[in-house]
Each structure stands twice: as C-alpha cells, then as structure tokens.
Structure 1
C-alpha cells in the first residue's frame, strides 16, 4: 500500500467522522451502518483512502477518552476493510492507532505529529505503515491561543522538521512519512493563506505533503460566513491549487467534486502552478 500511495499522486483522502461533534458532519455517521455505507460511497466516488476519526479536533472541542475513541473507530475500520475499502485512522493516541491498524487501517493520520502521545511513533515504526505528521501546537481547547508567528511558513517548516527528526529517532523510516501544514490548527485565516501560497516550500522538505483545507472556517470567512457544508466549491479550488503546487494528496469531504477537478487537471496536462 505504501508503494501504491507513493506511485499515484494526488491521493484523495475522504473524511469520515464518526463523532457527534465534528464541525461539519458531526452526528451524521455515528451508527455503524451509516458510517460504513458512507465510507463505501466515498470509495466509489474516487477516494483512495477513507480517513476515520473518532474524536473531534475542531477549535474548542473537548477530548474524549481512549476507550470511547477506540469504540467509535475500530468497528467502522474493520467493516470497511472487509468491504475492500482502504482506511486511515485520524488519531493522536498510540492505543487507538494500534487498535485501528489491527482492525485493518493502512495509515495513521496524527494531527499532533507525535506530540500528544509520543508512543504513537513506536506503533507506526513497528507497523511500517504510512504516517501523516501534521503541524500542531496544542489541543483544540487552547490551540488558537498559540497562533502566534513572525514567519508562519518558516516556523511551520522548522517545527515539522523537528517532528520528522523525532519520528526518525523512534524508528520510523523516511519513506513512511507524510507532512501536513495543519491548516486551522493554531493558525489564523491569514496564516492559512500564507501556507497555501507558499506550499512549495513545504514540498521542498522532500516528503509527500497532505493538504487538508476541507470546509474549514477560513473558507467560510472568505465566503461571507457561509456554513461548512456550503464550502465545497472553495475547498475543491484550494485542493486543486495545492495539487498543482506539488501536494501528494488532499483530505476532503466532497470526494466526487475533488476527483472530477483532478480529472480536468490531468486532462490539461497536470500543470504545475504557484498561487
């Protein structure tokens, strides 16, 4: 799976939140049948991976315990794996990651980059699976207090490099690593746009980059307060620009619209662009 993912960018990662309180789709897929049905639908629409999350990381969200998170994600991942759907687990906890991998997940997507639970690096190293390291400065209940930078792109790049070094020291191989700039996590709208415009500087670190702007609040601000479910066109635009700037993959709610846009991009010769 790792070689396949490296060989066929851009990868489309479909979002499946099995939580009651996620900012966009919380509560829609909290029972097993609806979650599995939506995961299969995302695959049919063009998702290479379905990213299953059991704990909301929206600004201000409070944490759930590991047992609750595990109980939410593991049955869904197991059922999707049995249905032939490749899944990733969106978690910051080593125990949840280990249980998800045992259930059939093929990638760990850690929004904390290993800071919330350093033992997750050992789990990833032993599994040999792809590992998304996102830029992160603190949990959801206080992360926006930490959105202070003198050069957001330079500092995100430097802090991601530190997370890479920590992962490598824990035994994770370089070819397992994928980086995510962490749009919206301890970032203002201005920070998010700067990271988007200069995404090539993060691509220049030499690792695949995952771009995850889907339905986030800075797009709502741009669109005069439009609610999250109505931000898909803006998401597709930002995702396609990221792909054209060299992103390895995009994490989105609207898989079909994204897959269609990528098909158009390919048909025009897959041009590389800068924002």
Structure 2
C-alpha cells in the first residue's frame, strides 16, 4: 500500500495541470504535488497514477514517490480563491501525493537529448499503459539533477472508463506519432525484449495492491476492490506480450540521436 501522510498546509495551486493540482506540505515535513479526488476527472485518474507509477518504478523508470495524502477539508476554509476552496472542500479524505522535485525543469527535446534505448523504453511503457498524454505539446517529463523523470499518468488506461470494452482494448495499437520522444529514434524492439518479461502477474498485482480501497469501491460490474484490481492485472498482462508489434512511429530520421544523451551544449560538427 501507499505510505499515508496528512496534509498540514496548502501552499499554492499548480495551474499548468488541467485538474488544478496543488503544492502542499505534509506531516512528514515533505512537499508534495497533490491530486484531488474532488477534481473533475474523478478518482480513476488517481488509480491510473498509482498503478502506472508503481509499475514504472518496478521497470526501472524514475518516478517521484507516491503517497496517500489525508486531507481535512477544513484546510480549505482559509483559501481566498473560491475555485481552490471548493476543490479542497470536495476532497476530504484520501488523495494522492507525488513528491515535489525542487528546481526540476520541464523536458524540452531541443535542450535535452534522449538515447534511443531510453526513448524506446519510455515509448514501449506508454504503449503498454496506453498513455495519450506524453506528446510534444505536453511531454509530462521532468529533468531533475540531470536525469529524465516521468510524471502524470492519470490519462492512461483509458479502458477503465468502460470495463466492458477492456478486453478489446488489450489488443489495440498505439499511435506514437505525436510522442515527445519520437524524434529520438526509439528502439521499441530492444525495450520489449528487456521489459516485457518483467511485466508479470505478480508485478502487476503489486502495483494494483497499492491503490486505496476507497478509490475502487462501488465499481459497476465488480464484487469489490480486489476484483477491480484483478481486472487491471489481466488487461495489462495481456497487452504486455505483443504491444511492441503494434506501436506506430513516424518514418523520419532522428538527427538528435547523434548527440550524447543529456543536455545539449553545442551543435554536432557538420550541422
């Protein structure tokens, strides 16, 4: 399960996110980016964040620590912004916290070069979870202390908004033409060889087990939280085996792969 901490102070809204996440402080003295159960996208966004974030960590990706944030809605009474106040009042109880990375920078493909192997691993992972929110318009990646970190997986696993079609979704292709890392020549075949064997029923069950029961109760068509967790495991496990065969990448040269991975400091010779 996720570690549980309590919100002690709401600091400021982060208006870059569509769901209006906020920067908060907790009783473990750490800062977190908080995502709310009362936001318009609903609790399934938080479920996706937990399952995909935990799975990403098990596969070796850098993802900020996730915690369950307990919010007393009385904290919202002192907020001058009516929109923020309503969000806090509607989100009492268990919410999601993502460890804040101070001084992290948003990923910019013109300023930071990614190796084809790492690019392939990320594209393969996004195809597995059907992440539609890692485009060049909104990469949802940060560069922190020189390394690439993955954030914001709430728009993934779109099938869980209609469980009756989940089995069909497991076999669908993934269009990576707009992916933020498409220009770096992602090696998805190598990624599949390395990562697919790691996506086991046990690994997926561990990721799903971290989701708080309160976000899974009353799901139509299921007997309880554990049945919902099994559905996530079955869908992702089936998708992992062959998704690399159905990733559509643009057919164009990736000149940036000639650069050393990391920050771009100068143009390569001859360009």
- Relative to the length of structure 1, the TM-score reads 0.29
Larger RCO of the pair (alpha carbons < 8 Å, separation 6+): 2
More strand by share: 2
Q: Which structure shows the bigger proportion of residues in helix conformation?
A: 1
Which one has the largest radius of gyration?
A: 2
